[in-house]
Amino acid sequence: MPINWDTTSDGDAMGEELIELMRELYPLPRSLTGDGVRQTLAVLGRDLPLEIVEVPSGEVVFDWEVPREWTMRGGWIEGPDGTRVVDFADSTLHVLGYSTPVEATLSLDALREHVFTHPSDPELVPYRTSYWEERWGFCMSRSRLESLAPGDYHVVIDSTLADGSLTYGEMRIPGTSDAEFLLSTYVCHPALANDNLSGVVLLWALARALLQQELVYTYRLVWGPGTLGPLCWLARNRETLDRVQHGLAISCAGDPGPLRYKRSRRGDREVDRAATLVLRDRAGSLVSGWSPLGGDERQYCSPGFDLPVGTFSRTPHGLFPEYHSSADNLELVTAAALGDSFRAALEIVDVVETNGSYRNRSPYGEPRLGKRGLYQSVPDGTYPEAPLLWVLSLSDGSHDLLAIAERSGLPYRAIREAAATLQVHGLLERAP
């Protein structure tokens, strides 16, 4: 069904609401596993009927294994004069993700072995993790590290790595059909705004909007830790994956850069065409072909699954200088960009919800539109009838509405509305 825009917040108001939600989620200690993810999902679940899935440590998921759960209670470095050099309480970025516990006193040179700094900007704190190799460490700015005086440093990381589980959240919004539209984002980054939280809140906004709509497709929404979250979801839904007809992996959706769409592995699926068309009519937007580098689409599009999942973002991973650092903070994202991402994603939904092929019921010559009140009685050369004429011309059962919008250069909505008008007048019928 077409999106009923009256039931959705307009893009700007939604953008402001999303910034507020990000502010609340920002300090939570998200990681691949642990309570930060659960707390994040609990916040989202205040407004949504989320189902929380726990996958036990040690469970084998395709070529992977769910790791032990990381619980982080606190961590800091105390200098020779007793002042704290960095503290996890100030920023969750300061402790290397998945650090093993430690309490030790060591020299500055020995401490340096455990400190990570940003490769190019001396003022930024990097975001670093060590999921698959046991170690402990801290992250700080290079300028802070270089300012440290020689002496004894006391380090504390109060963490636990123990059997537990990996957590993801999911939600199902039923449509009239069992065919599914998968919307997915990752939820494992700590205090980073564009790379992660923007996708988390955008998916929350889409969920709320879709709950208000009459839908053809059944929507599956997944918030899981990167890579392993989608793999766990794929493993648990393996028997019904053939229902997934369209999908979007959402990431980095809040910076003011242009919208970007990366095609699915096959590149020519309906969602690829729908997204390309929506972005065609948004100045400055970019569409790129498939690449196996990126986010969760790598799992959904792996050849064994080959799902029709494209990647919806603004400036993606690695292409903005603030990427994986303390500068990817709430100042990097804007309400306008989030609102624009929200509207564009819903427009893609609108296209696939309404796309279809039709047949012109009066194909021998052009039907006389004037006698049906569909043609200007005094033509002024502006051709407001153009969408009607394009739909009539190409509706031979082999062009869907998307193809007509692609070929005519006209907006999809104009084509969809023209098709509806022609159906009312008995000039068009749905192709079998």
CB of 197 to Zn ion, least distance (A): 11
CB nearer Zn ion, residue 246 or residue 262: 262
* β-sheet bridge partners, residue 359: 396, 429
CB nearer Zn ion, residue 9 or residue 194: 194
From 37-45, 195-203, 281-289, 394-402, span contacting Zn ion (CB under 5 A):
195-203
From 93-101, 190-198, 365-373, 392-400, span contacting Zn ion (CB under 5 A):
190-198
CB of 207 to Zn ion, least distance (A): 22
CB nearer Zn ion, residue 213 or residue 251: 251
From 7-15, 33-41, 193-201, 240-248, span contacting Zn ion (CB under 5 A):
193-201
CB nearer Zn ion, residue 195 or residue 272: 195
Give residues 222-281 in contact with Zn ion (rule: CB under 5 A): none
From 118-126, 192-200, 281-289, 352-360, span contacting Zn ion (CB under 5 A):
192-200
Residue nearest to Zn ion (CB): 195
CB of 226 to Zn ion, least distance (A): 7
CB of 109 to Zn ion, least distance (A): 31
CB nearer Zn ion, residue 69 or residue 195: 195
From 24-32, 83-91, 104-112, 189-197, span contacting Zn ion (CB under 5 A):
189-197
CB nearer Zn ion, residue 195 or residue 255: 195
Tell me which of 170, 180, 195, 272 binds Zn ion, using CB under 5 A: 195
Residues contributing to the site for Zn ion (CB under 5 A): 195
